[in-house]
Structure 1
Amino acid sequence: MAGAPIDGLPGWRRLDLASVGSTNNEALTLAEGGDAGHLWVTAGEQLGGRGRRGRDWASPPGNLYASALLIDLAPVARLATLPLAVGVAVHDAIAACGLPGGTMLRIKWPNDLLLNDAKCCGMLLEARGLSNGRQAVVIGCGINIISHPDPGLYPATALNRAGIAATPETLFAHLSRAMEEALTVWDGGRGIGAIRQRWLAAAHGLGARIAVNLASSRIEGIFEGIDADGVLMLRTDDGALRMISAGDLFFGSAISGPQAPQGREPEHG
């Protein structure tokens, strides 16, 4: 099997590459070749990184690009809550690097991390049925350490620019351990109650007015939280509770601006 054992994480391996098209794609290729999972694929740079909804992900050297491959992680019906566990893990990994006083690190629905109100990380989760009848799940994380893509729909930043002393190696050490811990708590979806509470404790904008860009419209209201499946609960001005499973979320002054184009947004894969 590909990769070398990871110290302190029994059963996990790491395949560290200088350059790759996409760490998610590499992990899925290895899964098709029979890899047993519990494998991290990391790369110094990505030449063809991609994000949610097919958006590009700029991936120059100096940042962390990492994808965890897991096989038969949980029944398909329970995978909808996995992004909550991943968000908690990435939040905890960045926090473990040490946050300067006054630094705000928050989780932004559905799958981003905000550092002082600017995006510092994107995540892309993919599931694929394999020819051997098993199921591969890949958790892709792209974390800006020394640089960030040009702003797309949201402002962006990098950890070092916010005074967080991290390198790809130190951050990966924190991420691999935080992910193992969060997945253990999540427990194939059975522990979603505990994960949801941790997610809410780190969430950005609870109780605030927000706008959500849907596929062809925008809706505004109060962000009341997420349900047990990670679906956003929005209280509209007429008092109705809207449940939103996908969309682009905006806070503060961005609410009153024009509807953002459904274009490039930096997320990893």
Structure 2
Amino acid sequence: MSVKAEWPAGVGRLVLPTVDSTNAEAQRLAPHVAGPVWILAGEQTAGRGRRARPWASPRGNFYATLLMQPKEGADVVALRSFAAALALREAFVAVTGLPDAFALKWPNDVLLNGGKVAGILLESGGAGQGVGYLAIGIGVNLIGAPEVSAVEAGAVPPVSLLAETGVRVAPEAFRDVLAPAFARWEAVLVTQGFAPLRAEWLAHAARLGEVIRARTGTLERQGVFETIDVTGALMLRQPQGTIAIPAADVFF
């Protein structure tokens, strides 16, 4: 499906045939650029996900990082993971026309028909007391997904856009839909704060109101996924009360 969207003003584009990881390239590039730039790679030789887990990177899938220079404190900067998730869902809906097929899994995955089709990894570097740069890494299984045996036991099984929907989209074409979508959510975050993003994210949240497991290191807690709070933390309702969990791996 061909979807036309205007490229956001002032945002650069860099395409690399191969790279170790787009987030690593963003870190190297950060001292040399003054504005945001999308870095897209045909393949990654050392792609990684959350907690430094390897991320399989065959050609034809989407590996990109948006390098930014945010001005806010670290807490606000981290909220851009929600902007990225909303932009990803918007891009998926645009190229497939299937709004009901996609859901958002806290903290940073996009699900397609209940399987993981995309992941987001935020990394940042300091500058004095603030954040010098932000790298928003995004991996999307456009045409292929890892074997279920390659993911952690109990994790959401990976799926590909092509296998689940029959839609084949090239990485550059997907980027050209995703970048304008992210720019719109970025503008909302900067001008209106997190509240509109939080409301929209919750409208598409996977397993909201259901029992989930949240694992942080060796500690695993089970409860009802009640909401996310104004900082983006997971609110988990347990018999003894509701607790806020700022970071964890979630299992259904």
CA deviation vs aligned residue, 1:84-133 (integer Å, no higher than 9, x gap): 111111111111112448x52000000001101100011111110259x8
| Partner-residue secondary structure (3-state), 1:246 | coil
CA distance in 1, matches of 2:207, 2:81: 18
Please tell me whether the aligned partners of residues 213 and 248 of structure 1 are also in contact (alpha carbons under 8 angstroms): yes
Are 1:45 and 2:38 matched, yes or no?
Answer: no
Alignment of 1:190-201 (within 5 A): 190-201=192-203
CA distance in 2, matches of 1:9, 1:77: 25
Amino acid in structure 1 at the alignment position of 2:34: A
Deviation at 1:134, TM superposition (A): 6.8
Please tell me whether the aligned partners of residues 73 and 131 of structure 2 are also in contact (alpha carbons under 8 angstroms): no
Task: Decide whether aligned partners of structure 1 residues 227 and 100 sit closer, same or farther in structure 2, where only a CA change above 3 A counts.
Answer: closer
Structure 2 gap segments, 5+ residues each? none
Structure 1 gap segments, 5+ residues each? 1-5, 252-269
- Identify which of 58, 61, 65 aligns with 2:59: 61
Are 1:111 and 2:113 matched, yes or no?
Answer: no
CA distance in 1, matches of 2:184, 2:122: 18
Match of 1:179 in 2: 182
Please tell me whether the aligned partners of residues 100 and 164 of structure 1 are also in contact (alpha carbons under 8 angstroms): no
Deviation at 1:179, TM superposition (A): 0.8
Amino acid in structure 2 at the alignment position of 1:240: G
- Identify which of 117, 123, 133 aligns with 2:120: 123
- Identify which of 204, 218, 221 aligns with 2:220: 218
What TM-score do you get using the length of structure 2 for normalisation?
0.89
Amino acid in structure 1 at the alignment position of 2:200: R
What TM-score do you get using the length of structure 1 for normalisation?
0.84
| Partner-residue secondary structure (3-state), 2:206 | coil
Please tell me whether the aligned partners of residues 78 and 122 of structure 2 are also in contact (alpha carbons under 8 angstroms): no
Question: Which 10-residue stretch deviates more, 116-125 or 205-214?
Answer: 205-214
Are 1:30 and 2:33 matched, yes or no?
Answer: no
CA distance in 2, matches of 1:193, 1:9: 23
Match of 1:87 in 2: 85
Question: Which 10-residue stretch deviates more, 6-15 or 170-179?
Answer: 6-15
Match of 1:8 in 2: 7
Amino acid in structure 1 at the alignment position of 2:212: I
When the two chains are superposed, the root-mean-square deviation of aligned CA atoms in Å is 2.0
| Partner-residue secondary structure (3-state), 1:10 | coil
Please tell me whether the aligned partners of residues 45 and 61 of structure 1 are also in contact (alpha carbons under 8 angstroms): yes
Are 1:230 and 2:232 matched, yes or no?
Answer: yes
| Partner-residue secondary structure (3-state), 1:19 | coil
CA distance in 2, matches of 1:242, 1:73: 30
Percent identity reads 38
Please tell me whether the aligned partners of residues 97 and 164 of structure 1 are also in contact (alpha carbons under 8 angstroms): no
- Identify which of 121, 133, 149 aligns with 1:136: 133
Match of 2:157 in 1: 155
Question: Which 10-residue stretch deviates more, 207-216 or 42-51?
Answer: 207-216
Deviating above 4 A after TM superposition, structure 1's stretches of 4 or more consecutive aligned residues are: none
Task: Decide whether aligned partners of structure 1 residues 52 and 74 sit closer, same or farther in structure 2, where only a CA change above 3 A counts.
Answer: same
Deviation at 1:170, TM superposition (A): 2.0
Are 1:244 and 2:241 matched, yes or no?
Answer: no
CA distance in 1, matches of 2:19, 2:43: 7
| Partner-residue secondary structure (3-state), 1:121 | strand
CA distance in 2, matches of 1:243, 1:7: 39
Task: Decide whether aligned partners of structure 1 residues 35 and 134 sit closer, same or farther in structure 2, where only a CA change above 3 A counts.
Answer: farther
Deviation at 1:72, TM superposition (A): 3.1
